[in-house]
Chains A and B, each alone.
Chain A
Amino acid sequence: MPDVQPLVSDFVLKLKRRKVEGSHAVARQTAELLRSVVSQHRMGNTNQAAALADAIRAVGEHLIAANPIELAVGNIVRRVLHIIKEEDISSTAVGIEGLSVTAVSDDEYDSGNDDRPTLSAAVLASHARNTLRAPSLQTLLDDIPVSTALSHSASSAGDSDGKTGDKSLKTRKLKHDVIAAIGDLIEEIDTCYDQISEQAVELIHQNEVILTLGRSRTVKEFLYAAKEKKRSFRVFVAEGAPRYQGHVLAKELVEKGVQTTVITDSAVFAMISRVNMVIVGAHAIMANGGVIAPIGMNMVALAAQRHAVPFVVVAGSHKLCPLYPHNPEVLLNELKSPSDLLDFGEFSNCMNFSTQDGTPLLDVVNPTFDYVPPKLVSLFVTDSGGHSPSYIYRLISEYYSADDLGVRRMSSS
C-alpha cells in the first residue's frame, strides 16, 4: 500500500488545516481516497476481506483523528467497511450454494446422506446473512460464532473449488465488487441533492412561508426544485451570523425568482408566527435523531416548537452518523477564529495582555455548531425519504454494521 500513502497523508493534512470542509466535500473525497486504497491493496490468499478491512481501518483511523468534527469522514469509513463485509458475505453465500449443488449432483443415489449437507449449508448461509444484521431478539438464542462460521464456510468453499485459477478469480471479484460498490457510494453522495429535492413538492405547498437559517446547499436545491415545479412560496432567510451565509442564499434565491426576505437571527422569534415550515440543513445527524447544525439552529428549533411550526431537516445519507452525542455542545464543536465577530484592531485596547494576570479582559468565543435534540425535530428528509427522529436508528442499522462503530477500537484489539 505504499503508493497510496502520499495520498493519505495529503488528505490528512488538508483535513487538519481545514482546507477541506463541509460534509459533502469531505465525504466525497474520503470515499475517493478509500477507493484508491482498495484498488492499490494487494490481496493475499487467505482472509482477504479481513485484510482489506484492516487496511481501510488503518487509514480511516488517521483520517478520523485528523478532524474529528467532520463526522462525515468516519461515516464514509464505516460505510466502506460495511460494504466490504457485505460483498464478502454475498460471495461466500454464492460459494456455499455452489457447494451444496455439487454435493447433490455427485451422489445422486445416496439421497438419505446428501440431505444433511445441503440443509446445513443453507443454514450456514442464513447465518452468514444474519451476521450482517444488527443483533436482535430473534438471534439472541441462536449461537453463531461469527468468525468461525464464516471462515469455515469460506475454507470449505475453497477446498471444494481447489483450483488456484478459480481462487484468484474470486480474489479479483471481491476487490472489483468492493470498488464498484464504493463507486456507487460516491454516486449516491453526488446525487443525494436530486433525490432529496424530488420530495420538495410534496412538502412545500402553495403560498407557504418557509424559514431557513444560513446557507445549505441541500436547502437551496430543495427550494429550487419546488420553484421549478411552479410552486409559489415565500422564504425568510435568517442571515446566520457570524458568517452571514444567509445573504448568499438570499441572492441565489432571488436569482431564481423566489420571494425572499432577509431577517437577522435575533428576529426569528418575531417572525416565526407567520411561518408555515422551517427547513434547514445539518452538519450531521446523530444516532439518537439529534442534529449537529450551524450555530443558532437550536434557537430556531425552540422558536418553531413554541409556535408548533414543523421543523424539517434536509440532509444526505452521508451525514447519518452512527454515534451517540455525548455532551455535543462541547465535544462535537469547533471554536473558530474571532475575526468573524470582530475586526482586528477594533477592540485592541480590551485585549491588552499586560493587565491583571496576563489574561485580557475581553474574551471572544466563536463556536461553529449547535446541537438540536431529537424532540425538536419534526421530520428528516434524506435521499431515502422522510423519516421521524425515532426512525433514524433503523437507517443507521441499514447503512452500517454494528461492530464497526468504534473504528479505532477494533483495529487496536
Chain B
Amino acid sequence: MAMELDAAQNPNPNPDPPISAYYQTRADHHAVVSSDWLAHAAAAASSVTDTDADAAPPPSPGGNGGGVIEEFNMWRRKPEAAEAVAAIMALTAVIRSSRATTMMELEIELKKASDKLKSWDATSISLSAACDLFMRFVTRTSHLEHEKFDAAKSRLIERGEKFGEISLKARKTIAMLSQDFILDGCTMLVHGYSRVVLEILKLAASNRKLFRVLCTEGRPDRTGLRMSNEIAALGIPVKVLIDSAVAYSMDEIDMIFVGADGVVESGGIINMMGTYQIALVAHSMNKPLYVAAESYKFARLYPLDQKDMTPAHRPIDFGVPVPAGVEIETSARDYTPPQYLTLLLTDLGVLTPSVVSDELIQLYL
C-alpha cells in the first residue's frame, strides 16, 4: 500500500534520481518565478514542466491510510505553514477520525500513520522530527495524565491544532532573542530563504536598527532572490551576491544568519546547499555564524559526513542545455558540523550546539 501511494503521489513519477518533495515545496513557496525564470525553464530540460504539473497530484480519496498524506499535502501547500506544522496537523486529523477506543489502539494507529508520512518523503527532516515529537507527546500525555480516554483524545487534538500557533510563537521568540545580536552599523549575510531569519530582520527593522544585509542568490531555485525582495520591502539596504562570491565579500561581513532544515544530534545543521561552505569561510575568517531554528526541527540524526543522509535531489536549471555525457550534482542540501556554528537561536533560548543533544536525550530517552 505504501509503495503504491509512493508512486501515485510523490511529485515525480519517473525520474532517476527521485526529486525531493520537501525541496519541491520549498521551491514552490519561496522561489522567484519571473518571466525570465520561466523562459529559462522552458528552454531547459523538459522535466521541469513535468514536475510542475506533478507538484499538485490529484487528491485521490483512499482508505484510512491515504488520509494522512492527503491532509499533509493539503497543509504543505499553504505557504505560511511550516512543514512540521503540516505534519502535526495531519497526525491530528488521524486522531480526530480515529475510531480507536483505547490509548494503545490510538497510539498504534498514529504510529502507522507517522511511519507512512515519514516514508512518503524521507528527505524532509522537519517532517520526521515533527512526527517523532508528536508521537512522544502522545505517549507522554497518556502516561502522565490518567484521564479518561475521550478527555485525553480531545486534549491531544486541541494541542495538535494549536501547533500552528506554537510554530508562529517560536519564530517570534527567536526574533526577540536575536535582537541583542544585531548591532547598529553591522553587515550580515543571509543564505537562502528562511522564514525565521526574515522574522528576525523584520523585528530588527521595526526596532529601527541600522544594518545592511548581503543575500546570496541561492541557486538553483533562487530562493535568495525572493529573500532579498522581501528584505528590500522592509526598507533594509540589501545586496545580492552570487553564491560563489561569499568568500570575496566576507571581509565586509560582521555576522552570518542562516536558517536550518533540521538540527541534528551533534548540534550541526542540515540546510540548503552552500551553507557548509559559507560556514567554512566564516570560520576561517573568524566571523560568527548564527543559526535560527525552531526547536521542533531538532532531529534524531547523526550524520557522519556529507553523504551520510538520505539524498535529497532537485532539478537544476542551468539556463542552457547541459552537454551530453555530463553528470550533474543535484543534491539540495549539505551538513554543517557543529564546530563551525557559533550559536543556535531557538525558541528554547540561545544555545550552544552541544545543548541540542542534551535536549534530544531528555526527550527521547
**Interface residue stretch chosen among A135-143, A197-205, A214-222, A251-259:** A135-143
Taking CB atoms and an 8 Å cut-off, the chain B residues in 138-191 that contact chain A are 140, 144-147, 159, 162-163, 166, 180-181, 183
> Are B343 and A324 in contact (CB-based, < 8 A)?
yes
**Would you give the shortest CB distance from A120 to chain B, in whole angstroms?**
8
Known: A119-B146, A143-B159, A327-B183. A137 touches B350 (CB 8 A): no
Q: Check: A134 CB closer than 8 A to any chain B CB.
A: yes
**Would you give the shortest CB distance from B210 to chain A, in whole angstroms?**
15
Q: Check: B349 CB closer than 8 A to any chain A CB.
A: yes
Looking at A289, A390, A391, the one whose CB has the most chain B CB atoms below 10 A away is: A390
> Are B183 and A394 in contact (CB-based, < 8 A)?
no
Q: Check: A399 CB closer than 8 A to any chain B CB.
A: no
Q: Check: B43 CB closer than 8 A to any chain A CB.
A: no
Distance, CA A135 to CA B146, complexed state (A)? 24
Looking at B163, B181, B348, the one whose CB has the most chain A CB atoms below 10 A away is: B348
**Would you give the shortest CB distance from B299 to chain A, in whole angstroms?**
11
> Are B181 and A134 in contact (CB-based, < 8 A)?
no
Question: Which residues of B are found within 8 Å of A394, using beta-carbon distances?
Answer: 358
> Are A135 and B145 in contact (CB-based, < 8 A)?
no
> Could you give, for residues 82-97 of chain B, a 1 whenever the CB lies within 8 Å of some chain A CB and a 0 otherwise?
0000000000000000
Distance, CA A134 to CA B173, complexed state (A)? 14
> Are B137 and A141 in contact (CB-based, < 8 A)?
yes
> Are B350 and A287 in contact (CB-based, < 8 A)?
yes
Question: Which residues of A are found within 8 Å of B180, using beta-carbon distances?
Answer: 324, 326
Taking CB atoms and an 8 Å cut-off, the chain A residues in 110-143 that contact chain B are 119, 123, 126, 134-138, 140-143
> Are A136 and B359 in contact (CB-based, < 8 A)?
yes
Q: Check: B133 CB closer than 8 A to any chain A CB.
A: yes
**Would you give the shortest CB distance from A399 to chain B, in whole angstroms?**
14
Q: Check: A393 CB closer than 8 A to any chain B CB.
A: yes
> Are B350 and A324 in contact (CB-based, < 8 A)?
yes
Distance, CA A83 to CA B183, complexed state (A)? 33
> Are B354 and A135 in contact (CB-based, < 8 A)?
no
> Are B343 and A140 in contact (CB-based, < 8 A)?
no
Question: Which residues of A are found within 8 Å of B347, using beta-carbon distances?
Answer: 135, 140
Q: Check: A379 CB closer than 8 A to any chain B CB.
A: no
Q: Check: B134 CB closer than 8 A to any chain A CB.
A: yes
Distance, CA A214 to CA B285, complexed state (A)? 31
Question: Which residues of B are found within 8 Å of A288, using beta-carbon distances?
Answer: 343, 352
**Would you give the shortest CB distance from B255 to chain A, in whole angstroms?**
10
> Are B144 and A135 in contact (CB-based, < 8 A)?
no
> Are A123 and B133 in contact (CB-based, < 8 A)?
no
Question: Which residues of B are found within 8 Å of A393, using beta-carbon distances?
Answer: 351-352, 355
Q: Check: A262 CB closer than 8 A to any chain B CB.
A: no
Q: Check: B35 CB closer than 8 A to any chain A CB.
A: no
> Could you give, for residues 91-124 of chain A, a 1 whenever the CB lies within 8 Å of some chain B CB and a 0 otherwise?
0000000000000000000000000000100010
Q: Within the complex, which residue of A123, A134, A141, A326 is in contact with B159, where a contact is CB–CB below 8 Å? A: A141
> Are B295 and A140 in contact (CB-based, < 8 A)?
yes
Question: Which residues of A are found within 8 Å of B295, using beta-carbon distances?
Answer: 137, 140
Q: Check: A332 CB closer than 8 A to any chain B CB.
A: no
Question: Which residues of A are found within 8 Å of B296, using beta-carbon distances?
Answer: 137, 140
Q: Within the complex, which residue of B133, B145, B159, B354 is in contact with A137, where a contact is CB–CB below 8 Å? A: B133
> Are A134 and B362 in contact (CB-based, < 8 A)?
no
Q: Within the complex, which residue of B133, B144, B354 is in contact with A140, where a contact is CB–CB below 8 Å? A: B133
Question: Which residues of A are found within 8 Å of B362, using beta-carbon distances?
Answer: 136-138
Taking CB atoms and an 8 Å cut-off, the chain A residues in 292-348 that contact chain B are 324, 326-327
Distance, CA A181 to CA B277, complexed state (A)? 51
Known: A135-B348, A135-B349. A141 touches B147 (CB 8 A): no
Looking at B133, B146, B166, B349, the one whose CB has the most chain A CB atoms below 10 A away is: B349
Q: Check: A13 CB closer than 8 A to any chain B CB.
A: no
**Would you give the shortest CB distance from B83 to chain A, in whole angstroms?**
16
| Chain B residue at smallest Cβ distance from A327 | B183
Q: Check: A402 CB closer than 8 A to any chain B CB.
A: yes
Known: A119-B145, A119-B147, A134-B349. A141 touches B359 (CB 8 A): no
Q: Check: B276 CB closer than 8 A to any chain A CB.
A: no
Distance, CA A158 to CA B245, complexed state (A)? 66
> Are B159 and A289 in contact (CB-based, < 8 A)?
no
Question: Which residues of B are found within 8 Å of A289, using beta-carbon distances?
Answer: 352
Question: Which residues of B are found within 8 Å of A135, using beta-carbon distances?
Answer: 347-349
> Are A141 and B166 in contact (CB-based, < 8 A)?
yes
> Are A140 and B166 in contact (CB-based, < 8 A)?
yes
Taking CB atoms and an 8 Å cut-off, the chain B residues in 339-365 that contact chain A are 343, 347-355, 358-360, 362-363
Distance, CA A123 to CA B10, complexed state (A)? 43
| Chain A residue at smallest Cβ distance from B160 | A141
Distance, CA A288 to CA B350, complexed state (A)? 9
> Could you give, for residues 201-239 of chain A, a 1 whenever the CB lies within 8 Å of some chain B CB and a 0 otherwise?
000000000000000000000000000000000000000
Question: Which residues of B are found within 8 Å of A119, using beta-carbon distances?
Answer: 145-147
**Would you give the shortest CB distance from A136 to chain B, in whole angstroms?**
6
Q: Check: B335 CB closer than 8 A to any chain A CB.
A: no
**Would you give the shortest CB distance from A254 to chain B, in whole angstroms?**
41
Q: Within the complex, which residue of A123, A136, A390, A402 is in contact with B352, where a contact is CB–CB below 8 Å? A: A390
Distance, CA A123 to CA B155, complexed state (A)? 14
**Would you give the shortest CB distance from B289 to chain A, in whole angstroms?**
13
> Could you give, for residues 375-402 of chain A, a 1 whenever the CB lies within 8 Å of some chain B CB and a 0 otherwise?
0000000000000001101100000001
Q: A138-B140, A141-B134, A143-B159 are in contact. List 8 more A-B contacts (CB 8 A).
A: A136-B348, A136-B362, A137-B363, A141-B163, A143-B162, A324-B181, A393-B351, A393-B352
Chosen A-B contacts, 9 in total, with CB atoms closer than 8 Å, are A119-B147, A126-B144, A135-B349, A136-B362, A137-B296, A138-B363, A140-B295, A324-B343, A394-B358
Closest 4 interchain pairs by CB? Answer: A390-B354, A141-B137, A137-B363, A137-B359
